[in-house]
Every structure is written in structure tokens, then in C-alpha cells.
């Protein structure tokens, strides 16, 4: 789970690789390295820690050369250390390799190569690749890399340079993402288009078992039998500055604020007016498929799973298809019976999450039709699905997902309503109401963002507390789960989410003045029960932040004195966060936003490194 980048041209490769690595930092940041070639000499620089250390190192001692490869690492084999950081070198120091993925048979290869006289310096799986290429190198780097990857089992995107072949950059992939950026007199490689978007808007998306020989003048793509392949360039649809912070303190905050525009982009071409039908292109399903589905299973990991849980409610209620949702890792273990006419909807921002990809493959094998709800275009999950509904969120850099979650929920809601239209499973008036509510969500979210200062004031009152409990019922239980995940990821406050209906069955034992409770109380069928839960918490001196609709008169703010004994505040919550009123089934789209802002500002007040939370990586491409 790392990021790779490479450059060949006439500029300083280290600067371009470094800039690319900066944009890939979300893929891992426990160490980084760059290798360049100048005057037939290969030089490597490696640093531990995040890329600021690499920046300092390059400033102190520039690395010169017009061809180079770089890597930002998230350790899988071997602890973060200089020896284990990429690029890894051959024994003679002439061949350098960067790799994203996992070489499954590295131990046996390492044993064999050691017996053949190769000396290993690291504990990584990647170093075997450098030695294998060295073993096969006979003046033709492409041939040597082809032979090497034929020996590999596992997943990889590899960049490779050799000081004896200083005018070519090689790249190859199997099951790990790889693009080649197209320039005029220079070219690039990267594990993610965002890494090189500032340099070019045209890339070739490379497929499994394809190898690319890249010079400053051209790009040759072949299969592993050296058959030439032709490829249409893919035009990156995001503007060059989309991956920059745009004036916000953190990417996470920027991405929270991008949500109204992102929803507009997601709705474009799909839902234009409440009285018009929804259209979906390329989702790989015929109307007969949709009419025939007897079951829908949502699967994903983490935040994306919370969006899938919302999907379970809407598919069931609106499209009238029995629906379930199960974590990708659990779904594989559970090995469920899949009957005919089952649809599996796979949700993933990156489209590369290992568990999600495996769950997809398992469900396909069992005969389910699989469509995916994805952000990253042409990612592995997208390509292996029968159809894709892209969420159109643009690049999400912050490790903690915000806009992708919101857009996943929007896309899933649209899918459910589209299914309902095709199946005629929902009365027209209700469909029109739901569509109108979805169309209104960008404005609703803008209103919530305008109230950010109020949320900061709430955050100031609770940020020092060590524990939090998020409560909700029904379709907003996934919102509470997502809110608590956001808080724990970026603030390191211990936070749990529970169905408020479960309170008396255990969690109420936790209630005390030291744990703050976030209660989602929007009006709907669960409203009175949620108020009952708040009363019970208040009676036990628990401080409560309630999220409710504008104009809620039943549970107004009854006290906001941070020094007051919470038990003195009769009945009502300590703090209210209001959101615009909407339809119950659409509410998870907007309810998520104040929860994101609350988590962000609590973490900010605690001084945490919000965009790079400890131990987390943006894309989890290993199980
Ligand atoms: C949390 C977060 C993760 C991801 C999960 C799945 O903020 O981002 O929980 O949602 O790792 O990732 P994708 O959506 O890329 O499959």
C-alpha cells in the first residue's frame, strides 16, 4: 500500500518525483525514497518519516538526474527503516526498483536468489524484484523485467531503472494500479493519476501483465510476450489544482466544503428535476435485470460500508428488494448462499481495497451480478464489475473520507430510486418527494457549512473529553457509525456508535459526565424514542450533543454552560446542532456533514495531524 512515481525527460527527475510523491502521500508515509541516474551513475536517497524529511534532504543536498523513480511507503514487509524503504537495488547497485503491492512468493525467491549469490539488505518482498532483474539482465532491461515478473506471484505495480540503460524507464503491473503520463518530450509513471496531474492531463491506463518501456520521446506498451499493444490516451477529467488544498488548512476541510459542488457533479446527467426520470449510463444492467432482482447485497470496508448500510434501507424501502449489507472481509468468511437474481453492490472510493476486491470476486463466482459504486475511474474494482456507477467526487486526498462517503450515499440513493422507477415499486408522489429532497441537498449542505462557527463552539466544549458515544436509530444509525469513525480516526478519541434502541442492553452503563454523547434525533418514526433516550442519558449526568432539524421545538437547547453540572440541565441536550429539514430517507446525505465538521474541529483543537492520521493509509491494497 504505497505510492510510486517516475519521470524521464530533461528536467530534474527528483523534483518531479518528489512533487508526485507529495500527492501520493495519502497512500502511505512511513518512509520515502528516490533514485536518479546521472552520467551513468545511479544515486538513491531514502528517508524515514513523512515527506517533509525528504524535502529537507533534497534541499540540503540536491539529487540530480533527468530520469528517476520515487516511492512513498506504508510498511507491509519489514518495519519502517532506511533499509526497507524503496527504491531497492541490485547487488551491483545499477538497478533500482519501486513497487506497490505484495510479492506473495518472495520468501522462496529470496532463498533461491541468496543461494545463487545475491546479497539482500532489507526484509522486504520488493528487494527480490531488483535481484531478479539483475539475474536476468543481459543488456535489455525490458527483457529482464519481463522474465522477472514471470517469476512473481502476487500484486504489483513496478517502476524500474538501470544505470546501464539510462535512457529508459520501465513499468509493469499486475493487480495494482499503474498509469503512464504522456508529455511532449518527457513522460511519467504513477500509481495514481493524481500524482502526475500537475504535469499532464493525458495518461495511458495500464492493464494486468502489461509492460511499458518509456523514453523521453515515446511510450511502448506490450504484453509479457512482447506483443505491441495500442491504447487510447485517457484524459484526466480533474483540473490540475484539484489535488491542492485550495486555501483550506487541511485537505479534509477542503473536501468537506467541496461537497455541494461534488453533489451537483454527481447528479448531472442522472437527475435533473424531481418530475423527470433518473438515468444511469453504463451500469451494466438491463431493465429486465433490474425487474428480476430478488436480493441486493451491499459490501465494502470502513466508511464505504456505512454508505452501503444506508443503501440497505433504501433498496428495501423504495426499490422493494430485500437487501443486506456486510463488511467485505466478513462476507468472504460468511460464504453466503447466493440465489439466482442476486445483485451485489460493491462500494469503494479507491476501487483498490483488497478485501472489497476479493468479496467482489467471491460474489461473482457464486453467480451474483456485481455492480460497483466507485470514485477512482478505471480502478481494479471498477474494471472487474459488470457495471459501474461512478460517484464523481474528484480526488479525495485526506485519509479520512468525507466527500466520497456523501457521494457514495447520493449515488446509492439515485440507484435505488432508479430501480424503483424501473420496477414501479414506489408511488410517484413519494418518488417525486425523494428526488426533490436529493436535488435540494447541495443547498442544505451549504447551509450547514455556513454554520461551521457554531459547530466549532460545540467542539470547543467537548474536545478534551476522552470518550464519545454516537447514538441513532433507523437509517441514521449508519450516519452515527460514520460520525464516530471520523472522530476516532482523526482525533484518537475513543468513540463508539450504537443503535439507541440498544442503550438499555449495555451501553447505558458507560454514561457519565466524562463521555459525550452525540445523538441524531431528526424527526421521523424514531424521533420520540430518541428523545426518550436523551432523557435517560441526562438523568445519568451524560452530556449530549443533539443533531436535529431546524425548528425542532421539542428538544431546544436548555443549557450551554460548559461549567454547569450536566445533570442540572433538565431533560434537554447540552448542545444542539441544527440541519435543514429533509426527507428521512435522504437525511443521511446531510446529517453526515455536521458530524464530519465536529470530528474535524475536535481533532484540530487537539492539534492532530488530520490529513495523515497515525497508522492509517488511504488505500488499503493488502488484506
Ligand atoms: C475512513 C476511510 C476508510 C475507507 C476504507 C475503504 O475514513 O476512508 O474506512 O472507507 O478503507 O476504502 P475504499 O472506499 O477506498 O474501498
Q: Say if residues 325 and 355 touch (Cβ distance below 8 Å).
A: no
Task: Assign residue 196 the CATH number of its domain.
Answer: 3.60.20.10
Peptide bond into 87 cis (omega under 30): yes
User: What is the average per-residue pLDDT within 394-403?
Assistant: 91
> Helix 141-150 crosses helix 127-136 at what angle (to 10 degrees)?
120
- Per-residue DSSP letter, 58: H
Average pLDDT value over all residues in the chain? 92
Task: For 446-476, write each residue's pLDDT tens digit.
Answer: 999 999 999 999 999 999 999 999 999 999 9
Same domain, 415 and 279: yes
Mean pLDDT, rounded, for 419-444: 97
Q: How far is the CA of 371 from the centre of ligand 1 (A)?
A: 18
What's the residue count for the chain? 623
The answer to whether the beta carbons of residues 591 and 476 sit under 8 Å apart is yes
Range of the domain at 410: 271-436
Distance from the CA of 179 to the center of ligand 1, in angstroms? 22
- Within-domain flag for 386: yes
Predicted local distance difference test score (pLDDT) of residue 265: 82
* Closest ligand 1 atom, residue 376 Cα: 15
- Top-confidence residue, 26 or 518: 518
Q: Is the pLDDT of residue 486 over 70?
A: yes
For residues 312-327, give the mean pLDDT.
97
80 & 123 share domain: yes
At 76 the pLDDT is 64
- Whether residues 426 and 489 share a domain: the answer is no
- Band of residue 387 on the pLDDT scale cut at 50, 70, 90: very high
**Which residue, among 99, 190, 204, 206, has the nearest Cα to 149 in the 3D structure?**
99
Distance 406 CA to ligand 1 centre (A): 13
Q: Considering only CA atoms, which residue is closest to atom 11 of ligand 1?
A: 302
Is the CB of residue 226 less than 8 Å from the CB of residue 208?
A: no
Q: For the chain, how many structural domains are there in total?
A: 3
Question: Are 177 and 56 part of one and the same domain?
Answer: yes
Distance 538 CA to ligand 1 centre (A): 34
Is residue 414 in some structural domain? yes
Q: Which atom of ligand 1 is nearest to the CA of 353?
A: 16
Among residues 46, 295, 486, 618, the one annotated as catalytic is 618
Q: Are residues 333 and 358 in the same domain?
A: yes
Q: What CATH number should be reported for the domain holding residue 349?
A: 3.40.50.10490
Residues 478 and 599 in one domain: yes
Q: Mark whether 171 and 87 lie in a shared domain.
A: yes
**Contact of 520 with 501, CB cutoff 8 Å:** no
pLDDT value at 381 more than 70: yes
**Residue-wise pLDDT tens digits, 2-27:** 789 999 999 999 999 999 999 887 66
Q: Is the pLDDT of residue 558 over 70?
A: no
CA distances from residue 155 to 69, 182, 354 in whole angstroms, order as listed: 19, 24, 10
Q: Per the domain annotation, does 218 fall within a domain?
A: yes
| Residue that terminates a domain, selected from 202, 225, 243 | 243
Residue 616 lies in a domain: no
- Mean pLDDT of the region 251-275: 91
- Which of 377, 411, 436 is the last residue before a domain boundary? 436
Q: What is the pLDDT of residue 539?
A: 83
**How far, in Å, is the centroid of ligand 1 from the Cα of 445?**
22
Mean pLDDT of 439-450: 97
Query: Best of 401, 405, 408, 596 to mutate for ligand 1, by most ligand atoms within 8 A of CB?
Result: 401
At 212-226, the pLDDT tens digits run: 999 999 999 999 999
Among 70, 73, 63, 77, residue whose Cα is nearest residue 120: 77
Going by alpha carbons, the residue nearest to atom 6 of ligand 1 is 301
If pLDDT is split at 50, 70 and 90, which confidence band does 201 have? very high
What separation in Å is there between the alpha carbon of 238 and the centre of ligand 1? 21
Angle between helices 302-317 and 403-423 (to 10 degrees): 20
- The verdict on residue 262 lying in a domain is no
Judgement on whether residues 292 and 161 belong to the same structural domain of the protein: no
User: Would 54 be classed as within a structural domain?
Assistant: yes
Confidence category of residue 244, pLDDT binned at 50, 70, 90 = low
DSSP per residue, 579-614: E----TTTHHHHHHHHHHHHHHHHHHHTT--TTS-T
Over residues 329-343, the mean pLDDT reads: 93
> In this predicted structure, what is the pLDDT of residue 469?
97
Rounded to 5 degrees, φ, ψ at 351 are: 70, 15
What share of the chain has pLDDT > 90, as a percent? 76
Q: Could you tell me the pLDDT band of residue 243, with boundaries at 50, 70 and 90?
A: low
By alpha-carbon position, which residue is closest to atom 7 of ligand 1? Answer: 400
Are 417 and 456 members of one domain? Answer: no
Band the pLDDT of 175: cuts 50, 70, 90. confident
Given ligand 1 and candidates 301, 478, 492, which is best to mutate, with the most ligand atoms within 8 Å of its CB? 301
**251, 310, 331, 349: residue to mutate for ligand 1 pocket, most atoms within 8 A of CB:** 349
pTM for the structure as a whole: 0.76
| 117 found inside a domain | yes
Q: Do 21 and 70 contact (CB within 8 A), yes or no?
A: yes
Same structural domain for residues 419 and 472?
no
- Mind listing the pLDDT tens digit for each residue in 19-51? 999 988 766 668 899 999 999 999 999 999 889
- Ligand 1 residue neighbourhood (C-beta within 6 Å): 301-304, 348-350, 353, 356, 400-401, 489, 619-620
Catalytic status, residue 618: yes
Say whether both 427 and 515 belong to one domain.
no
Give the ligand 1 atom nearest the CA of 620: 11
Q: Are residues 177 and 306 in the same domain?
A: no
Residue nearest (by alpha carbon) to ligand 1 atom 9: 302
Let me know if residue 137 belongs to a domain.
Answer: yes
Please list the residues that pair with 374 across neighbouring strands: 348, 390
Mean pLDDT for the stretch of residues 480-489: 98
- Report the share of the chain in percent with pLDDT over 70: 95
Amino acid at each position: 500500500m504505497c505510492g510510486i512515481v517516475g519521470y524521464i525527460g530533461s528536467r530534474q527527475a527528483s523534483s518531479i518525483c518528489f512533487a508526485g510523491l507529495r500527492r501520493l502521500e495519502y497512500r502511505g508515509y512511513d518512509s520515502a525514497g528516490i533514485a536518479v541516474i546521472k552520467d551513468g551513475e545511479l544515486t538513491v536517497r531514502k528517508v524515514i518519516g513523512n515527506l517533509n524529511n525528504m524535502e529537507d534532504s533534497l534541499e540540503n543536498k540536491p539529487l540530480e538526474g533527468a530520469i528517476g523513480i520515487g516511492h512513498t511507503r506504508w510498511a507491509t514487509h519489514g518495519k519502517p527503516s532506511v533499509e526497507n524503504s524503496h527504491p531497492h537495488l541490485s547487488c551491483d547497485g545499477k538497478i533500482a526498483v519501486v513497487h506497490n503491492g505484495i510479492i506473495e512468493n518472495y520468501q522462496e525467491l529470496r532463498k533461491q536468489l541468496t543461494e545463487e549469490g545475491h546479497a539482500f539488505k532489507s526484509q522486504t518482498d520488493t528487494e527480490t524484484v531488483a535481484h531478479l532483474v539483475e539475474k536476468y539482465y543481459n543488456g535489455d532491461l525490458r527483457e529482464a523485467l519481463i522474465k522477472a515478473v514471470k517469476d512473481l506471484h502476487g500484486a504489483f505495480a513496478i517502476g524500474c531503472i538501470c544505470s546501464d540503460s539510462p535512457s529508459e524507464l520501465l513499468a509493469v503491473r499486475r493487480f495494482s494500479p499503474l498509469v503512464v503520463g504522456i508529455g511532449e518530450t518527457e513522460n511519467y509513471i504513477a500509481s495514481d493519476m493524481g500524482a502526475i496531474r500537475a504535469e499532464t492531463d493525458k495518461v495511458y491506463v495500464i492493464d494486468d501483465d502489461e509492460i511499458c518501456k518509456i523514453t523521453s520521446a515515446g511510450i511502448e506498451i506490450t504484453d509479457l510476450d512482447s506483443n505491441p499493444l495500442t491504447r487510447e490516451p485517457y484524459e484526466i477529467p480533474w483540473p490540475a489544482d484539484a489535488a491542492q488544498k485550495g486555501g483550506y488548512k487541511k485537505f479534509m476541510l477542503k473536501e468537506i466544503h467541496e461537497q455541494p459542488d461534488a453533489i451537483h457533479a454527481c447528479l448531472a446527467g442522472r437527475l435533473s428535476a424531481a418530475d423527470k426520470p433518473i438515468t444511469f449510463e453504463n451500469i451494466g444492467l438491463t431493465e429486465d435485470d433490474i425487474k428480476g432482482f430478488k436480493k441486493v447485497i451491499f459490501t465494502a470496508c470502513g466508511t464505504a460500508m456505512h454508505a452501503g448500510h444506508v443503501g440497505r434501507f433504501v433498496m428495501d424501502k423504495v426499490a422493494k428488494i430485500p437487501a443486506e449489507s456486510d463488511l467485505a472481509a466478513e462476507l468472504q468468511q460468511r460464504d453466503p448462499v447466493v440465489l439466482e437474481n442476486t445483485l451485489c453492490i460493491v462500494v469503494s472510493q479507491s476501487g483498490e481495497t483488497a478485501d472489497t476486491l476479493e468479496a467482489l470476486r467471491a460474489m461473482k463466482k457464486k453467480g451474483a451480478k456485481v455492480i460497483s459504486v466507485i470514485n477512482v475511474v478505471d480502478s481494479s474494482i471498477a474494471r472487474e464489475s459488470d457495471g459501474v456507477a461512478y460517484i464523481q467526487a474528484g480526488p479525495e486526498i485526506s485519509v479520512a473520507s468525507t466527500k466520497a462517503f456523501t457521494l457514495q450515499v447520493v449515488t446509492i440513493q439515485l440507484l435505488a430510486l432508479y430501480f424503483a422507477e424501473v420496477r414501479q415499486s414506489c408511488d410517484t408522489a413519494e418518488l417525486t418527494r425523494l428526488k426533490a429532497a436529493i436535488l435540494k441537498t447541495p443547498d442544505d449542505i451549504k447551509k450547514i457549512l455556513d454554520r461551521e462557527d457554531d459547530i466549532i463552539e460545540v467542539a470547543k466544549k467537548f474536545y478534551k473529553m476522552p470518550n464519545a458515544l454516537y447514538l441513532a436509530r433507523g437509517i441514521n444509525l449508519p450516519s452515527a457509525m460514520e460520525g464516530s469513525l471520523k472522530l476516532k480516526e482523526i482525533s484518537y478519541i475513543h468513540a463508539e456508535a450504537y443503535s439507541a434502541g440498544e442503550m438499555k442492553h449495555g451501553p447505558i452503563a458507560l454514561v457519565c459526565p466524562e463521555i459525550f454523547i452525540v445523538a441524531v434525533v431528526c424527526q421521523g418514526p424514531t424521533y420520540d424514542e430518541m428523545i426518550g433516550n436523551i432523557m435517560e442519558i441526562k438523568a445519568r449526568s451524560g452530556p449530549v450533543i443533539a443533531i436535529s432539524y431546524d425548528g425542532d421545538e421539542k428538544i431546544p437547547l436548555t443549557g450551554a454552560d460548559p461549567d454547569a453540572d450536566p445533570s442540572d440541565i433538565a431533560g434537554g441536550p447540552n448542545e444542539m446542532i441544527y440541519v435543514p429539514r429533509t426527507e428521512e430517507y435522504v437525511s443521511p446525505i446531510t446529517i453526515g456533514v455536521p458530524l464530519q465538521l465536529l470530528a474535524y474541529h475536535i481533532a484540530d483543537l487537539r492539534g492532530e495531524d488530520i490529513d495523515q492520521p497515525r497508522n492509517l493509509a488511504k488505500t488499503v491494497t493488502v488484506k
